[in-house]
């Protein structure tokens, strides 16, 4: 497994030097300054790669090559955006970068309601409070049909929650959700969200799936020819939000997406944190099932804190980002499965290490003073990477002994 570190570019408060001192070998980054739907210029890719290599690291994974909302909705101009994405893939291949993560989440990337919630053992963490999110949906956004979907009981809980917030706390909740966090565009307002929700409601889940399938059938052959692996990130959280369709939340969803193109270029970013929010996602079974098509791992663990029921037969989990080796995800068991997959690939002539990163991290020690991007502090991720590195060494030793003795 290749140890990588997400870096948000030259303006990141956590530097490339920090990443190297934390023990990372590769960098996961993107040209965040280039808007979705436009071509990543070849020279700009080269300059970013040279900057990373000058720090003694490699640009291992692109995260993310964003898919524009125009493509997801198949709005006017979507063909142009798809062709621009194909050109970006060609430019990345010319620079030797061949693992490209993306997501198919509509409007918002990963979603949280609190960015600096107190963690159980000290420090701070990100949190998703289902009741807080319902309060935003019902009484700040005032989405059409929200009350019908949440139902009377949950709506009442959400109203009581909102009434207990001060005006600055209400503003913080709204800005946290509208910002979209790293990966979002940060330009949403209540009005632009309402407009986008109208567009997506007209498309519906069936149309959203059809658009995803057409996209993969168009782009995967180009990626395959270039030797690039595209890897879709799961929905975070893995539930419908604001009535928006979410189609990368379960094993069934992943199976469907992979079936849209059977090329190895059509792969998965397996995020244990996002998928692990749902208790009905058996992560170890899913890793075993999809292992040949997993190109990149996000390793983190979330802790569920209960659910808020809605009136249409669903639920929404509350959760926070736990310590990497705690929470609901069995990361040690998952690391063992990854090492098994690497050994299987090696036996078939593929000696490339599978990249992973210690995804997210709690804010520890002086992390708050540095002011890094939410969930991407220096010390918290260093701790997570160190814990995962220890798990990796243990798993590799275990597999070696199994190979020698035939038994555990």
Question: Which residues are designated catalytic?
Answer: 233, 271, 298, 359-360, 376
| Spatial contact of 66 and 102, defined as CB atoms under 8 Å apart | yes
- For residue 18, the number of C-alpha atoms closer than 13 Å in the C-beta half-sphere is 21
Return the residue matching tokens 């109208």: 198
Element (H, E) at 195: helix 190-226
Contact 100, 65 (CB under 8 A): yes
User: Is the dihedral angle over the CA atoms 334, 336, 342, 343 positive or is it negative?
Assistant: negative
CA angle 354, 360, 363 (to 5 degrees): 145
Q: CA-CA-CA-CA torsion for 66, 29, 42, 85, nearest 10 degrees?
A: -20
How many angstroms separate the CA atoms of 32 and 10, rounded? Answer: 10
User: Is 44 in a helix, a strand, or coil?
Assistant: helix
Nearest to 61 by CA among 29, 94, 18: 29
Nearest-angstrom CA–CA distance, 29 and 101:
10
**Any residues with CB less than 8 A from the CB of 258 and at least 6 apart, and which?**
266, 267, 268, 290, 293
């Amino acid at each position: 497994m290749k140890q990588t570190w997400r870096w948000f570019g030259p303006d990141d408060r956590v530097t490339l030097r920090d990443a190297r001192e934390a023990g990372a070998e590769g960098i996961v980054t993107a040209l965040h300054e280039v808007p979705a739907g436009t071509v990543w210029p070849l020279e700009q890719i080269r300059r970013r790669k040279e900057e990373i290599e000058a720090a003694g690291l490699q640009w291992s994974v692109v995260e993310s090559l964003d898919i524009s909302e125009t493509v997801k909705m198949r709005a006017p101009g979507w063909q142009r955006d798809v062709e621009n994405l194909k050109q970006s893939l060609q430019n990345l291949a010319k620079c030797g970068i061949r693992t490209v993560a993306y997501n198919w989440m509509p409007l918002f990337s990963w979603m949280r309601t609190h960015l600096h919630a107190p963690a159980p053992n000290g420090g701070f963490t990100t949190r998703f409070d289902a009741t807080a999110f319902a309060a935003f949906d019902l009484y700040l956004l005032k989405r059409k049909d929200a009350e019908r979907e949440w139902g009377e009981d949950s709506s009442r809980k959400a109203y009581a929650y909102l009434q207990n917030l001060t005006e600055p706390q209400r503003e913080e909740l709204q800005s946290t959700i509208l910002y979209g966090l790293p990966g979002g565009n940060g330009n949403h307002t209540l009005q632009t969200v309402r407009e986008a929700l109208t567009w997506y409601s007209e498309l519906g889940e069936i149309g959203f799936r059809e658009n995803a399938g057409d996209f993969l059938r168009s782009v995967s052959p180009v990626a395959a020819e270039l030797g690039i692996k595209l890897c879709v990130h799961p929905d975070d959280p893995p539930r419908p939000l604001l009535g928006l369709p979410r189609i990368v939340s379960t094993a069934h969803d992943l199976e469907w997406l992979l079936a849209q193109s059977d090329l190895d270029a059509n792969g998965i970013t397996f995020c244990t944190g996002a998928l692990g929010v749902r208790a009905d996602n058996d992560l170890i079974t899913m890793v075993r099932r999809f292992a040949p098509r997993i190109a990149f791992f996000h390793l983190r663990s979330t802790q569920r804190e209960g659910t808020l029921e809605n009136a249409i037969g669903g639920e929404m989990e509350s959760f926070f980002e736990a310590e990497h080796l705690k929470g609901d995800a069995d990361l040690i068991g998952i690391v063992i499965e990854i090492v098994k997959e690497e050994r299987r690939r090696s036996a078939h002539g593929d000696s490339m290490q599978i990249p992973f990163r210690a995804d997210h991290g709690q804010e520890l020690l002086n992390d708050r003073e540095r002011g890094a991007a939410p969930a991407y502090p220096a010390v918290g991720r260093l701790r997570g990477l160190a814990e995962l590195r220890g798990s990796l060494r243990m798993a590799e030793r275990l597999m070696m002994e199994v190979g020698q003795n035939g038994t555990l």
